A = this chain, B = another copy of it.
Amino acid sequence: MQDVFQYVETHRARFVEELCTLLRQPSISAQDVGVTECAARVLSLMSEAGAEARLIPTPGYPVVYGQVSAPGAGRTVLIYGHYDVQPPEPLELWESPPFEPSLRNGRIYARGAGDNKGQMFAHLKALEAILRTRGRLPVSLKLCFEGEEEISSPNLPAFVQKHRKLLAADVVYASDGPMHPSGPTVFFGCRGLLYLELTVAGAKRDLHSGNYGGVAPAPAGRLAQALASCWTSRGRVAVEGFYDRVKKPSPADRRVLGAIPLDGRTIRQDLGVSPVAGPGARAYYERLLMQPNLNIAGLTAGYQGPGSKTIIPHVARAKVDVRLVMDQDPDDIEEKIRAHLKRRGFGDIEVKRLGAVPPSRTPVDHPLGQAVVRAVTQAWGRRPVLFPNLGGTIPDYLFTRVLGLPSIWVPYAPHDEANHAPNESITLEGFMNGIRSTAAALFEIAAA
């Protein structure tokens, strides 16, 4: 592997510059900003790296798909990534503009640096490095980069169903999410997601609270009451039946959870406050990874500017995201939330689904998973931390359930990448070791 690793080191400056060029292209799927232009750019980059690349249309944004065949190779690896990014708001909190990459503190700062352009691009540079040094890959490779991950991949399920043959492989390898604070990390799945928007409507316009306070409907108050009804006073989700299908962690799960180092100080520094789960690694990670969570991602009603304005807002909205664990099902949970609201007298509240992804897991002791662990160990010079699954959500169920493949995730972004927030970044170390990890993984999977 030293020849391949040496190539990566030699071309470091160019790789960083190429990544910055990619990061300058916005691709905000939630706001329809620059996504199509970004797909074209990724297509070029994939082709330049040595893959037979093409855009495959979907009803939304296209999938950038590529293949590199290695005649005689025993295995096929399918690599997944995404080229769309989260909205950059609130803009005023960015230290440098989100789409003008800035190098400082050994990091590249930009929207998408960590989630997911920096990680996705590392795969392409690994491909380039192997082909330029060895002339061929040790496995056949398929690349599938989508443009709708940040809006919950609405068209990927149909795409995977439709292209099962095209995507046929022995294993899925992918990089997304942040590493653990202690360093290199391997995940074997993810929590699921159900994203809902709740809307409470009142009068046809905002009303003067003096002229109508007490006699007109008050949507903001009703929204607060409806949302509050979703938790017990101790912070558990109060939606009837919500925990019915939640599996208790197995002894093996508990062993893996207990082996994850918990650096409470780094977490406290990152948050600026203490976490609310713990104490101890097992309690913290069991809550984060093996327990579902109901979160308010946004609230909006009435006057939000400086000073005071005495109105009864005529509409109030909440964005609600629910993280799901095995074996919760998004359809079932949505039904239970609707039933809960109805039962508590909030049946008039409009509930709109904005996205849904089921939870998914691969056994942590899968042989190809162990091959990947060896590859990451080579790239970083130390063993990675293993996670039974990610706290976040990735469309892993398409690989495990629809394609029926083991699916191994190796994040390259740092624990404090600030994805989905201002000042997102990836470390240069993570980016470079990421390239090395992908390259080594292809060899280890071939040999396993």
Contact = CB atoms under 8 A, between A and B. Distances in A.
Interface of A: 29-31, 86-87, 89, 93, 151-152, 177-178, 190-191, 193, 195, 197, 202-218, 220-221, 223-225, 227-229, 231, 233, 271-273, 275-278, 284, 287-288, 291, 293-313, 316-319, 321, 323, 345, 354-355, 390-393, 418-422
Contact of A316 (B231, B294, B299): B299
Nearest to A284: B215
Contacts of A294: 221
Nearest to A31: B306
Contacts of A209: 293, 295, 297, 321, 323, 392, 420
Given A208-B392, A392-B208, A89 B303 contact: yes
A224 B300 CA distance: 12
Contacts of A297: 209, 220, 302-303, 308-313
A207 B271 contact: yes
B323 A277 contact: no
B210 A392 contact: yes
B301 A211 contact: no
A227 B225 CA distance: 8
Contact of A214 (B213, B277, B345): B277
Contacts of A218: 295-296
B210 A221 contact: no
B309 A213 contact: no
B319 A276 contact: no
A302 B273 contact: no
A387 to B, nearest CB: 12
Contacts of A296: 218, 220-221, 224, 301-302, 313, 316
A215 B276 contact: yes
Given A204-B273, A303-B297, A214 B291 contact: yes
B272 A203 contact: yes
A134 to B, nearest CB: 36
A114 to B, nearest CB: 10
A31 B284 CA distance: 45
A30 B318 CA distance: 26
B421 A207 contact: yes
In the complex, the 6 A-B pairs of residues with the closest C-beta atoms, listed nearest first: A210-B392, A204-B272, A228-B228, A30-B307, A220-B296, A213-B293
B321 A355 contact: no
Contacts of A225: 227-228, 231, 233
B298 A301 contact: yes
A295 B391 contact: no
Contacts of A210: 177, 190-191, 193, 323, 390-393
